[in-house]
């Protein structure tokens, strides 16, 4: 066993990436305050060929040095749109036939391991504020919620870790 070199990884360039088919998944960041979390989500979305990222409310927008530090250029590859209000982003996604899913601890949340997306299903995943979660005004607009089972004392994951787990599960299920 040996580590792969950069050339052995066969990474695509920005133009090649933009031409690759994307998964029908939009990540919605609802008032995410940490620049590092935002950048990490961009990088994860690039890795899993996610269609786009919607930045809402207080969520910072590229170009920003704090985002770039963890995004490592992914803001140049992943499509993104800014919405002043998350409810406007959700309305736009509903108009485009997306299934609206919060990644949140809620009473009727589906355990992530039990969620199997349909091959033709367009999915919008909403990740909320690091402390407050998703905005209360969009709860009524949700089609469902997903929750990652946790077993320790914290019952809380960093949003970028959570996004990585959820996006891996969904994109792996779509293959």
Tens digit of each residue's pLDDT (9 = 90 or more) over 156-175: 999 999 999 999 999 999 98
**Buried b / exposed e along 75-103 (16+ C-beta atoms within 10 A):** bebbebeebeebbebbeebeeeebbbbbb
153-158: which pairs have CB atoms within 8 A and are 24 or more residues apart?
155/105, 158/37, 158/130
Tens digit of each residue's pLDDT (9 = 90 or more) over 12-40: 999 999 999 999 999 999 999 999 999 99
Residue 10, in any domain of the structure:
no
First-last CA distance in the chain: 27
Query: Pick the residue with more confidence: 46 or 7?
Result: 46
Residue 112, in any domain of the structure:
yes
Which residues face 156 on adjacent strands? none
Residue range(s) defining the domain that contains residue 170: 20-146+155-174
Query: What pLDDT, on a 0 to 100 scale, did the predictor assign at position 77?
Result: 98
DSSP count for the chain of H helices, then E strands: 5, 7
107-135: average pLDDT: 96
Query: What pLDDT, on a 0 to 100 scale, did the predictor assign at position 109?
Result: 98
Q: How many domains does the chain have?
A: 1
Query: What pLDDT, on a 0 to 100 scale, did the predictor assign at position 175?
Result: 81
Residue 66, in any domain of the structure:
yes
Task: Decide: pTM greater than 0.95.
Answer: yes
Mean pLDDT, the chain, whole residue set: 97
Phi-psi region of 72 (alpha: psi -120 to 50; beta: other; left: phi over 0): left
Q: What is the CATH number of the domain that holds 136?
A: 3.40.1280.10
Residue 5, in any domain of the structure:
no
Tens digit of each residue's pLDDT (9 = 90 or more) over 47-102: 999 999 999 999 999 999 999 999 999 999 999 999 999 999 999 999 999 999 99
3-11: average pLDDT: 91
Residue 122, in any domain of the structure:
yes
Query: What backbone phi and psi angles, to 5 degrees, belong to 29?
Result: -100, 110
Query: What pLDDT, on a 0 to 100 scale, did the predictor assign at position 155?
Result: 87
- Residue 141 CA from chain centroid, whole number: 18
Give yes or no for a contact between 147 and 105, defined as CB atoms under 8 angstroms apart: yes
Query: What backbone phi and psi angles, to 5 degrees, belong to 126?
Result: -100, 120
Residue 109, in any domain of the structure:
yes
């Amino acid at each position: 066993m040996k580590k792969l070199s950069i050339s052995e990884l066969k990474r695509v360039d920005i133009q090649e990436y933009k031409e690759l088919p994307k998964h029908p998944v939009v990540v919605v960041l609802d008032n995410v305050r940490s620049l590092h979390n935002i950048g990490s989500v961009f990088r994860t979305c690039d890795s899993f060929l996610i269609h786009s990222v919607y930045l809402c409310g207080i969520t910072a927008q590229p170009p920003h040095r704090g985002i770039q530090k963890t995004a490592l250029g992914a803001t140049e590859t992943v499509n993104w749109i800014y919405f002043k209000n998350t409810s406007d982003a959700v309305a736009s996604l509903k108009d485009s036939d997306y299934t609206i899913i919060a990644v949140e601890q809620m009473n009727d949340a589906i355990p992530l391991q039990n969620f199997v997306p349909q091959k033709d299903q367009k999915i919008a995943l909403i990740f909320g504020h690091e402390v407050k979660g998703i905005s209360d005004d969009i709860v009524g607009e949700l089609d469902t919620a997903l929750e990652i089972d946790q077993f320790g004392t914290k019952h809380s994951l960093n949003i970028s870790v959570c996004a990585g787990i959820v996006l891996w599960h969904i994109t792996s299920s779509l293959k």
